Each structure stands twice: as C-alpha cells, then as structure tokens.
Structure 1
Amino acid sequence: MNDLPQADSARRDNYSAEARAASKVTIIGMILDAVLGVIKVIAGAVFHSQALLVDGIHSFSDVASDLVVLGVMRVSRQEPDEDHPYGHQRIETLGTLVLGSILIAVGAALAWENILRLWQGQADIIPGWPVLAAAGLSVVGKEWIYHYTRRVGIQIRSDLIIANAWHSRTDAFSSVIVVVSTLGAMFGLVWLDVVAAIVIAVIIIHIGWKFTWDSVKELVDTSISPEDTEMLKSIARNTDGVRNIHELRSRKMGQDILLDVHLVVRPDISVSEGHQIGVQVASGMREALENIRDINFHIDAENDEELSPTSEELPSRGDIQRTLEKHISDYPTKTRLRLHYLKNKVHLELFLDSDADTLNEAEVHKAMTGYPWFGSVRVWVKNS
C-alpha cells in the first residue's frame, strides 16, 4: 500500500518557486564569483602572489559550478511525470557529484603545480599590499554569498544549493589564508605564499571529495541514519494495532526520504483496518521527519522474516470453494468464506446466513483433513 500524495497545482507551484529561488541565488553568486575571480587573478599575477592567483582560479571554478547548478536545478525541480513518478531529484544528486568531481580535479592540479614551485625553489618574491585588499574583499563577498545561498538551500531543501554555498565558503577560507600568508611573506617568510596556495588546493579537494562521496552514497541508495531509523521503528511499534515492525528500508532522493515498511498486525482483522493502521503509522512518521516524501507500507499477518516464506502452492479461494462443494454434498451456496494464510496453512471461517443451514465444524474438518495445506475451520451462524 502507498500513501504518496498525488501531484497537484500546489505542488507544481512549489516546484516552480523553488526553481526560481535556486536560479536567482545562483546567478547572483556566479556574477560575484566572476568579478572576484578577475580581481584576484589580475592582482595575484601583477603583485606576485601565487596564493591569490590560485584563489582566483578557485573563484572561476565557482563560476563553472554555478553553471552546472543552473542547468541541474532547472531539470531536477520539474514535477513528477509518467517516466519519473518519484520526481527528478536524483538529477540534482548527479549534479552534486559532477560539482564535487570538478573541485577535486581543480584542487589536485593547483596543488601539484605549487608543490613543484616549492620544490624547485621558486617561492622567492614578496607579494604587494594590493594582494591584501583583494583577499579582504573576497572574504567579505564570499562570506555574504555563503550565508545567502545556504539560507535559500535550506528553504528549498536542496543539497546541491547547500553544497554550492559551502563551495563559496571555501573561497572565503582560502582568501583568509591568502591574507595570513601575504602578511607572513611581508615579514620575511616568503615561502608562505606558495604553501598557502597548496593548502587552499587541499581545501578544495577535501570539499570536492565530501560532495562526491555523499552523492555516491545517495545514488547507491544508502539508508538514513541508524538513529532516525530506530526512531521511526519506535513510532510504528507504539501505534495502536501494530504488533511489530520487522522491516524498515529507507533511501534518499535529494533531501526527500523514501520508506518501505513491513507492519505485523493481528491476522484476524479486516483489510481496511490493516490499511488504516498503516495510514496511522505513516502519519506519525511524517510528523517526526518532515522530509519523508513517500511511505510504502506492507501489512503482514505474521513475521515472514522468522517463518518460512508463504508457499506459492497454497490453494486460492476458488480452489478451496470447489473443494468444499466437492466433499460436502449439502454445502450451502450462500456461505461466506474467509481465509487466513498462516504458517503455510489455510485456516477457514465459514459464515452461514441462518441456523437452517446444515453444516458443522466436525463435518468440514473431516472432509478437509486429507489436504496438507488445511489448518483449521470455524463455522459461524448468523442469529435469526
């Protein structure tokens, strides 16, 4: 059973609003990255700061990542369709993976280049004071765009936008390192500039790896945390009518959580009551974790993890009906039949319309004993 709500106009409007918000903040960040990148590359080249030059290249990598974000967000925020009934959020995950890979590649190239410079003794030029001004401007600008982007990412529940925010903050961190290394070089520690460039490159690699690894885990359907899993199981166990929960599987699509839940209930309740119990469990879970998008709940009459799987060879309702009519000559035609498939046996309940119908449990039991699938029988007579 599934409690996935149908896509309606409100959801479509929500997807559109989220896409617009993501595009706006990304375009603003991209313009800022481009301006800061030009300033830092020029200042780094003219005033002899390898660290600021690397920092400027880092800003241009932000521009490239912003372009990735714009393209991915446009696609991933589309409403669910026939081919993608759960939505397109996995495209966002793929975009985050690409973004992380870009960061790793850029960081590795910059780190290698500056390690060679340090090894070859090329770190012997003192940076000029404009380097401090360019780095300070970068710190202020990137810290502002970090807070703005992260706030939007949290509001629209987008891992990709949040990842892009942290990408901006690494630029602010790296600019702080430029300030410190430049001051150190001005006081005679000239090699600090190249060392700072290597440190900045390592920061870029680290952030890229985190984004990449988190995306890989999501793409291979890694579950939610053990703490959240146990909390959801506790909610199910404490729901009236649930005897046990013997399986809870989870996976993520972007910020959304998808759940598969197996609930054990009393075997003699109706299908509708079992469904209602599942609805109550789903409601409780949604209250606990608001980003649950879809819950598939399966109602079990017994714990099929501990017992042998139910045999596919057990007879159907039609087969049992014909068997009863075959062995019981005066079998009432209006008898209602209820079946319980438990522990690889079939337990029968027969409901008679009146006590005028001549049928008793002993007669049925004797007729059915020879069948290996037969478990038990109860006969109920409607009061006149």
Structure 2
Amino acid sequence: MGEGEYIKRISNIQIAMKVSWLSIIINTLLSVYKLLAGILSNSSAMVSDAVHTISDVLSSIIVIIGIKMSYKEADSKHPYGHERFESVAAIILSVILFFIGVSIGFSGIKKIILNKNEVLTVPGTQALVAALVSIIIKEIMYWYTRIAAKKVNSDALMADAWHHRSDALSSIGSFIGIMGAKIGFLFMDPLASVVICLLITVSAISIFIDAIGKMIDKSCDRSIIEEMKNTILQEEGVICVDLIRARMFGNRIYVDVEIRAKGDDTLLSTHELAHRVHDVIEKNYENVKHCMVHVNPEI
C-alpha cells in the first residue's frame, strides 16, 4: 500500500468513527426523550418511535465494528482483505431493522383490533413536540451521515444513514397518528405504528438486497465497465479489448481485462503495456482494489 493510500485509509476511518460516535450520542439522548414523551403522553406511536431510535444506537455500534474490521490489512487468512465485513455489518443492520419493524407493527395491529377505550387513549401534546424534534434532528443526521458515507464509500455507513431517514419518516408517521388521535380518531395513534412498521421493513429489505449483492461478487454497473473499456482503448498499443469483467468485493471493485496487442511485440513491451493499463484503471477509478490484465497477441 502506497503512502497516499494509507493516509486516505486512515482519514476515512477517522471520518466514519466520528460520524458513528456522533450518531450514538444523539440517538441515545433522543431515544430517552422520545420514550419519556411517549410514556407521559400515553402515545404508543411515540413509544414505538423511541424503540426505533434505540435500535439506531445498536446499529451505530455495529457500523463501528464493521468499518474497523473492513479497513484491516490483508493477512495470511484473508489475502484479499476484509472489505466484505462492511457488507456483513449492513446485513446485520437490515435484520435488526426488519425485526424491530415487525414487532412495532404487531403491537399497533393488536391495539387496533382490541379497539377499546381503555386501550386507545388520547395522547398528550408532549408526544407531538417530540415527533417534531425527532423529524428535524433525524433528517439532519441522515444527510450528514449520507455525505460522509459517499465520501469514504462505506456501505455500513450508508445503511446507517438510511436508518436515520427511516427514523425521520417514522416520526412523521407518529406526528400524523398523534394529531389524528388528538382530534378524535383514536385508532390513528396505533395505526401510525403500523405505517412505521412498513417504512422500516421496506428500508431493511433494500439494505439487505444491496449488501447480499456485494457479498456474492455482483457485477458493477455496465456504465462503469464501458467507461473502463474506453479508458483502456486510449492507451497506445492496445488494439482492442477482448474481455473486461468487474465484480464487487464489499465496496471495492476487482477488474479482469484481456487486451489485444501486436503479435510481434517483445515480451518486455507487452508487459509494459499491461502495466500501463493496470495503472490507468487503478488511478482513474479509486474504488478499484486490483486490476488483472492479460495480453492476447494479434495473429
């Protein structure tokens, strides 16, 4: 690993850790506030929302572990590195999100079915205020974490960003449900829990599918492959590209290329050509971890 890449790796870890620890602190304070507001206001929607926020604390801890593991250097047991640990962290997050969503939805449906006055009560104003505060804070955290995730190219951090967005959406659902209950539609408070359930589970499934794709060597976007092909063809000595394949390895890319060169070129010149192609791909596409180049002779 070059000095520049090492410095960038350390910088990325520091950014990811800063964002994750900030998430833990804010989510801890926010979840306690929302839980108290939900209990004092007799709002099942706000209590469900608080539980969702508590899960964000756990998710941020998982993100920290996943990122630290993914940035470990390659070793004898993992010669290709540890990048897939980020995808593992994203999968764990998605599973946690899914079960939290299902449990929240089950609780809401149970209260709607019972539909008795002693079960359904008018929530207090504290719950409305807590919902508004949560919407603002969680939307800010979504954009802050999303920007950081794109900067360091982190799947786990991006999953955590969507966790913030799902929490903001669930708070919107809580606000609507609580407001509806306060004007006389008591069923709307637990109904908001069901809406929150749907938002959370959809987010969980999306994160899971994306992480699984990166765990099973899914091909990267065709547009990126075409860009790489055009970049290779610009190198002097390359007659054509016979084959180019690119697969995802966690959040990094492995590229296999077969180029065609003059058949009467010396071994040294074809080796230098392959090396130039290798270097130009790894230089122009920072997500590429390794590029393997094979040269076919033109007959």
When normalised by structure 1's length, the TM-score is 0.72
- Partner SS for 1:265: strand
Alignment counterpart, residue 135 of structure 1, candidates 131, 142, 148: 131
Q: Which amino acid aligns with 2:260?
A: V
Q: Distance in 1 between matches of 2:98 and 2:278?
A: 40
Name the CA distance, whole Å, in 2 between partners of 1:73 and 1:228: 25
Deviations 1:110-165 (A, max 9, x none): 21222222223256322111111111111122122222222222222211112111
Identity percentage of aligned residues:
28
CA contact (8 A) 1:18 1:77 kept: no
Residue of structure 2 equivalent to 1:189: 185
SS in 1 for 2:291: strand
Contact 1:30–1:66 at 8 Å: present in 2 too? yes
Q: Aligned partners of 1:216, 1:290: CA distance in 2, in Å? A: 22
Whether 1:296 aligns to 2:292 is: yes
Give the corresponding residue for 1:3. none
Counterparts of 2:2 and 2:76 in 1: how far apart (Å)? 14
> Counterparts of 1:105 and 1:26 in 2: how far apart (Å)?
22
The Cα offsets for residues 167-197 of structure 1, whole Å up to 9 and x where unpaired, read as 1121111112211222222222222111211
- Measured on the aligned residues, the alpha-carbon RMSD in Å equals 2.0
Q: Distance in 2 between matches of 1:227 and 1:70?
A: 32
Cα offset for 1:84?
Answer: 3.1
Pick which of 90-99 and 123-132 moved more.
123-132
Instruction: State the Cα deviation string for residues 319-354 of structure 1 (Å, max 9, x = none).
Output: xxxxxxxxxxxxxxxxxxxxxxx7xxxxxxxxxxxx
What corresponds to 2:143 in structure 1?
A: 147
The equivalent position to 2:39 in structure 1, one of 24, 36, 45, is: 45
Deviation of the 1:295 alpha carbon: 0.6
1:80 aligned partner = 74
In the alignment, structure 2 segments of 5+ residues that lack a partner are none
Give secondary structure in 1 for the equivalent of 2:254.
strand
**Between Structure 1 and Structure 2, how many residues are aligned?**
297
1:265 corresponds to: 261
Please state how far the C-alpha of 1:227 moved relative to its aligned partner: 1.7
Cα deviation for residue 213 of structure 1 reads 0.8
**CA contact 1:15–1:78 (8 Å) conserved in 2:** no
CA contact (8 A) 1:93 1:253 kept: no
What is the aligned partner in structure 1 of residue 231 from structure 2? 235
- Identify the residue that residue 256 of structure 1 maps to in structure 2: 252
Q: Aligned-pair distance for 1:260?
A: 0.7
Matches within 5 A, 1:195-234: 195-234=191-230
User: Which residue identity is paired with 2:293?
Assistant: F
2:10 paired with 1:16: yes
Report the more deviating stretch, 237-246 or 137-146.
237-246
Structure of greater Rg: 1
Q: Distance in 2 between matches of 1:170 and 1:261?
A: 40
The one-letter code of the counterpart of 1:32 is I
Q: Provide Cα deviations, 1:287-328, integer angstroms capped at 9, x if missing partner.
A: 6533222111111125xxxxxxxxxxxxxxxxxxxxxxxxxx
Give the whole-Å Cα distance in 2 for the aligned partners of 1:297 and 1:119: 64
Mapped to 2, the partners of 1:60 and 1:110 lie a distance apart of: 13
2:149–2:157: 8 Å Cα contact kept in structure 1? Answer: yes
Contact 2:215–2:250 (CA under 8 A) maintained in structure 1: no
Query: For 2:262, what is the secondary structure of its paired residue?
Result: coil
C-alpha contact 2:56 2:163 (8 A) present in aligned 1? yes
The structure that is helix-richer by fraction is: 2
Q: Which moved more, 1:131-140 or 1:275-284?
A: 275-284
Question: TM-score by structure 2 length?
Answer: 0.91
CA distance in 2, matches of 1:213, 1:22: 23
